A and B are shown apart, each in its own frame.
Chain A
Amino acid sequence: MVLDFLMNWLAAIPGFVVPFALAALGLLLIEKAGVLSLGAEGFMLVGALAGIGAILGLGASPLAALLCAALAATLLSLLYAVLVVSLRVNQVIAGLSLVFLAQGLTGLIGTGAGWVNRPVDGLRPVPVPLLGDLPLIGQVVFRQDTVVYLTVPAFALVAWLLARTMVGLRLRAVGDGPDAADTAGIGVSATRYGAIAAGAALVGIAGGYLSVGIARIWVEGMTGGRGWIAIAIVIFARWRPWSALAGALLFGAIEALIPRIAAAGIQVPQYFIAMIPYLATLAVMVWTCLRGGGGSMEPRALGRAHLREDR
């Protein structure tokens, strides 16, 4: 009985972790280049709509639908990039406007096209041969969908890219000291455009996964604030990729747990449990401050627009 409960819970966790993890990873990529991205919720909304639209409107396969989700979020992110990189609009205001724009736009298109409440087949679990038959761990880890399997490699790729490659070095330089990077001959605007486009694609996939992978249905505003949670996860992780995955695990595990304890009829203070990840985020922030920012990888120029010759 206890084992059943545990297995059901553990097997459900990856599905909940993926949207948080990919959104946080994309966000982290953008912010490492020194661009604040409060618009994550907007990219997710667009991704969720584009994913379902690709299936219902174009008959795309679920994986192709996720590509569409990435493309759509990237398209929207170019607008954001023009605003904050080229026009140097305040990044907080531009990010919030982006969310409102995405809310209105996705609602208008989705309801206009009649995509509301239309069930789709969506992503299905792909058991890994042999490993999927392992007792316990097979069910939890190796009977998931493709996106779950690709999430950890995606983190490895971004972590490697940031820490070990020239592209990553330039990106971090632009995020930490755009003026110095500029002097060194790095194209600050081009790097930020690239980071925004690539990061938004990841956030878009996270949104598409919500509609195509988990819910397999679309309704207006279905991201339900998960983009904001991704922002909290990046702060929790202090801008470190692997910590972001751990943060996503924490938030995802709790989100998977809450309905299960209710369904099992276990009496616990569920609102307290729902609060734990946020408490942890606050604790990490306080801890980072007390240590004088030691260990945090927060980009030093985060949120600051770069204007050449403007010191």
Chain B
Amino acid sequence: MLRRLVPLCLVAGLGSGLTGVLGADPAGAAPFKLDGPPKVAMVLFGPKNDGGWGQAFEEGRVRTEKALGIQIPVVDNIKESSSAIRPAVELFIKRGYNVIIGTAFGYSDTFKELAQKYPKVAFLNGSGTTNGANLESFYGRTYEPHYLCGMAAGAVSKEGKLGFVAANPFGVVNWTVNAYELGAKQTKPQATTTVVFTGAWNDPVKERAAAEALVGQGIDVIGQHVDTPTPQIVAQEKGIHGTGHHRDMSEFAPKATLCSLVWFWDRYLIPTIQKIGAGTWEPSPYGAFLSIKDGGPDIACCGPAVPKAVADQIQTERQAIIDGKKVYAGPLTDRDGKERVPAGGVLSDADLWKMDWFVPGVISQK
């Protein structure tokens, strides 16, 4: 998962520098044209029914099929190595498929090579880092839904003591933690978020230990950025609340879950495939970094414990984000008092990817 989730950062980080160097980047030169109508296929990194990342793509695929009236065959469990990816993708291409959707950070290099080898085929890759004339990587601004879910958490918590179970402290995770705290402050100004990093994406034993340790400290809402629903299940067992990641966690903890980040990949895939079909697709040389309004991750909100007024407030804030409100808008200082975003400014994408600081109210190991 770590390898899947360090997406785009190099691209975003180097973005500004590269524009100068590669002034004549072919990606921006002309829209990509297919020979014939789009025939779409998907290559999944893990199993279709993993209850998280893979399943979100599978559900997006089914909705895309329905909306566009096409068949999108899928092959799953294709690991992040060239020897696994190439045969799967080339088999699809031989059968006449000309739009290939990948789903992993570890596909980046192989997709770049394949895109150069097959210039008549369009490639899309979720959480990848490579882009080109016929290749676009895409990932979501996951901090937007976590900001909104943080609002629900702050409102429901009695004293504003929130907990968060996260995998590893790096940009992609840190921005969800900070957004969670910023959101919680909207509904409970004194809210704090205590983070426990488990060091693993998929270790329910460590996740349960982390969640139970947080409960032991008097925390009454648990957010998460790990792959299993364990923290939500613990919340339900302990009679407290929680917010989920990847999928609507009310499936696992109907009473406890207040709000979840949910991927809606079809909202990106449908218009992109339509553009490819129409010959107007111009892949971004820096990849697509999707907001809610562009088809990025959204929220499933709100659970029964969230008061109606708060639910309305969250929907209003969601609309504001769609209308252009930025979560990381200045003035913003970190918990050590250092200014990170000046008043009137907005945190750049490059700074987002390398976020290694926390906002005031986040309690974690340094």
Contacts and interface: CB of A to CB of B under 8 A. Distances in A.
Contacts of B50: 111, 116-117, 219-220
Contact of B196 (A12, A16, A107, A262): A262
A219 B204 contact: yes
Contact of B365 (A218, A221, A268): A268
B279 interface: no
B191 interface: no
In this complex, the member of B50, B206, B213, B229 whose beta carbon has the largest number of chain A beta carbons within 10 angstroms is B213
Given A12-B212, A16-B209, A264-B217, A117 B364 contact: no
Contacts of B366: 267
B208 A215 contact: yes
B197 to A, nearest CB: 7
B210 interface: yes
A185 interface: no
A270 interface: yes
B230 interface: yes
Contacts of B198: 259
A238 B35 CA distance: 68
Interface string B91-124: 0000000000000000000000000000000000
B6 interface: no
A210 B210 CA distance: 15
Contact of A263 (B196, B208, B228): B196
A8 B216 contact: yes
Interface in A251-293: 255-256, 259-265, 267-268, 270
A214 B227 contact: no
A187 interface: no
Interface size for chain B: under 10, 10 to 19, 20 to 34, or 35 or more residues? Answer: 35 or more
A256 B364 contact: no
Contacts of A215: 204-205, 207-208, 230
Given A260-B216, A262-B213, A111 B204 contact: no
Contact of A222 (B204, B219, B252): B204
Nearest to A111: B47
Contacts of B47: 107, 111, 116, 220
Contacts of A220: 46-47, 50, 202
B365 A267 contact: yes
A114 interface: yes
Interface string A6-44: 001000100010000000000000000000000000000
Given A111-B49, A221-B202, A119 B216 contact: no
A263 B213 contact: yes
Nearest to B214: A263
Given A8-B216, A210-B205, A114 B228 contact: no
Contacts of B217: 263-265
B230 to A, nearest CB: 6
Contact of B210 (A8, A263, A264): A263
In this complex, the member of B50, B202, B206, B209 whose beta carbon has the largest number of chain A beta carbons within 10 angstroms is B209
Given A215-B230, A224-B200, A259 B209 contact: yes
Given A8-B216, A260-B216, A224 B206 contact: yes
A270 B197 CA distance: 10
A107 B49 CA distance: 12
B224 to A, nearest CB: 13
A18 to B, nearest CB: 11
A217 interface: yes
A215 B202 CA distance: 11
Nearest to A7: B216
Contacts of B214: 259, 263
A265 B204 contact: no
Nearest to B192: A265
A265 B194 contact: yes
A264 B212 CA distance: 12
B363 interface: yes
B159 interface: no
Contact of B49 (A116, A221, A259, A265): A116
Nearest to A261: B365
B332 interface: no
B51 interface: yes
Contacts of A8: 213, 216
B195 A117 contact: no
B299 interface: no
A216 interface: yes
A116 B49 CA distance: 8
A16 to B, nearest CB: 7
B40 interface: no
A224 B203 contact: yes
Interface string A224-266: 1000000000000000000000000000000110011111110
Given A262-B364, A263-B216, A219 B228 contact: yes
Contacts of B365: 261-262, 267-268, 270
A260 B46 CA distance: 32
Given A119-B233, A262-B197, A270-B365, A12 B209 contact: yes
A16 B209 CA distance: 9
B45 to A, nearest CB: 12
Interface in B141-186: 163
Interface in B1-56: 46-47, 49-52
Given A224-B206, A262-B195, A263-B210, A116 B163 contact: no
23 contacts: A8-B213, A12-B209, A12-B212, A116-B47, A116-B49, A116-B51, A117-B50, A117-B51, A117-B252, A214-B205, A216-B233, A217-B228, A220-B47, A224-B200, A224-B205, A259-B198, A259-B214, A260-B213, A262-B194, A262-B210, A265-B194, A267-B365, A267-B366
Given A16-B209, A114-B49, A224-B206, 5 more contacts: A117-B50, A216-B233, A217-B230, A218-B204, A260-B213
List the 3 shortest-distance A-B pairs measured between CB atoms, nearest first. A215-B204, A117-B51, A263-B213
